[in-house]
Structure 1
Amino acid sequence: MLKVGDKAPLFEAKDQNGNTIRLEDLLKEGKKIVLYFYPKDDTPGCTKQACNLRDHYQELLDAGYLVVGVSVDDEASHQKFIEKYQLPFPLLADTDHQLVEAYGVWKEKNMYGRKYWGTARTTFVINPDGIIERIIKRPKTQEHAEEILKGSK
């Protein structure tokens, strides 16, 4: 299980447009990376979370953050989600589960007595040196940007 102070696992994944995104390239920008994992595109909680980040995106940029979302949905699903809600940040398609497993957020869940595997809503704030600075488990979907910004003060 990853913890604050650990080196963030390096990754390479495709975004909604098929572009390859690498953590090491993001780190070169000298900003903190908000790597947020969410269960599924265009579902109520995930939409509220993405729209909250969208609505506070400029504040996050001004505070020195880059925002990148990750789910196990494919590129086409991400593209529709971004277009529908005008999301200004990339979403990574982790269809092979490499990121969710490397970051330890692929968990067994239980809903109405039915067990299944899915992504635990979790955010990692990674500093420019590639070190995990904060982990926000089960972020509040409608206050997520505020949770991130609060930690930067």
Structure 2
Amino acid sequence: MTDPAFLPANLPAPPDDGACAHLPGMRLPALSLPATDGDAVDLATLPGRTVLYVYPRTGRPDEPLPEGWDLIPGARGCTPQSCAFRDHHAELRTAGARVFGLSTQDTAYQREAVERLHLPFPLLSDADLRLAGALGLPTFGAAGETLLRRVTLILREGVVEHVFYPVFPPDRNAADVLAWLAAHPV
């Protein structure tokens, strides 16, 4: 089995294909998403700043990664990215932002990741791609599934304030977000 917490050397970097250029300034739709803490979260209604990191899928140490996963630019690194947001969570909260992760995996699958990785924030499920479709988030196909490409949004009062895309390497994303928040205080 491949350890999903490990980022191998020489992973292909995703290109900046402009797939998220339309997002800055976009208002999020009123849409409730199931969260791993049992709540339903409508990102459009949250006050202040929210960090929403969007990732393809969390792997499990006891399951193989999809075939060819490491060859898909930007696919590998969901666990290291989540762990980095976990490790920087207190600093992100101090900077005035709440944190959510979002994938197309169902809430039960995500709940296992929250427990195993000791995440202090909920993961949101967009299994039916409602939010992805409404925002025009980029996707790709792997192992017969439609998955979200990795992008991180800084939301402010339900509007996309800043976009990190492409995100690479994923384990540095939380530090990059923290640096951006420090440079752009409310």
Q: TM-score normalised to the size of structure 1?
A: 0.84
Kindly provide the amino acid, as one letter, of the partner of residue 27 in structure 2: K
Q: Deviations over 1:98-140 (max 9, x none)?
A: 112222224235x7xx997421101111113x22110111223
Picking from 13, 27, 38, the partner of 2:55 is: 38
Task: State the Cα RMSD in Å.
Answer: 2.2
Within a 5 Å distance, the mapping from 1:1-153 to structure 2 comes to: 2-27=22-47, 31-42=48-59, 45-108=77-140, 117-128=146-157, 130-139=158-167, 140-152=169-181, 153=183
Kindly provide the amino acid, as one letter, of the partner of residue 26 in structure 1: L
Q: Residues 18 and 116 from structure 1, CA distance in 2 versus in 1: closer, same or farther, beyond 3 angstroms?
A: closer
Q: Deviations over 1:32-90 (max 9, x none)?
A: 11111110023651000000000000000000111111111111111100000000111
List runs of 5+ in structure 2 lacking aligned partners.
1-19, 61-75
Task: Report the Cα distance in structure 2 between the residues aligned to 1:95 and 1:108, rounded to whole angstroms.
Answer: 14
Task: Report the Cα distance in structure 1 between the residues aligned to 2:124 and 2:144, rounded to whole angstroms.
Answer: 26
List runs of 5+ in structure 1 lacking aligned partners.
none
Q: Percent identity?
A: 31
Q: TM-score normalised to the size of structure 2?
A: 0.70
- Work out which of the two has the higher radius of gyration on C-alpha atoms and give 1 or 2: 2
Count of equivalent residues = 146
Q: Residues 117 and 69 from structure 1, CA distance in 2 versus in 1: closer, same or farther, beyond 3 angstroms?
A: same
Task: Report the Cα distance in structure 2 between the residues aligned to 1:138 and 1:119, rounded to whole angstroms.
Answer: 12
Q: Residues 76 and 150 from structure 1, CA distance in 2 versus in 1: closer, same or farther, beyond 3 angstroms?
A: same
